[in-house]
Amino acid sequence: MKSVLMILEAVVAIALIASVVLQSGKSAGMSGSIAGGAETLFGGKKKGLDEMLARVTMILGIVFGILTLILGRVLSTY
């Protein structure tokens, strides 16, 4: 059980890293964050692959957190 959880967490971690790296870069600095916020405010949307990668990243982050908590619980009992 412990080994399966550790392998699953490693796979999720690699997938999470890949999904973050594959996302398109945003403008750097404070002006980029302001411009990005204004774009979203006035109806600009992320399209296609960026939207999908953002959703996948969020889901993988949640799964990684849950697996980490479960694995911590399992390892603390041994």
Q: How far apart are the first and last CA of the chain?
A: 12
Mean pLDDT within 8-20? 96
Q: What separation in angstroms does the CA of 36 have from each of 1, 2, 19, 68, 70?
A: 44, 43, 20, 32, 36
Task: Give the percent of the chain with pLDDT over 90.
Answer: 56
* 3-class DSSP assignment, residue 78: coil
Task: Please say whether the beta carbons of 78 and 16 come within 8 A.
Answer: no
pLDDT value at position 71?
Answer: 94
- Asked whether the predicted pLDDT for residue 20 surpasses 90, the reply is yes
Q: What is the dihedral of CA 69, 72, 77, 78, to 10 degrees?
A: 150
Q: Please indicate whether residue 68 or residue 77 has the higher confidence score (pLDDT).
A: 68
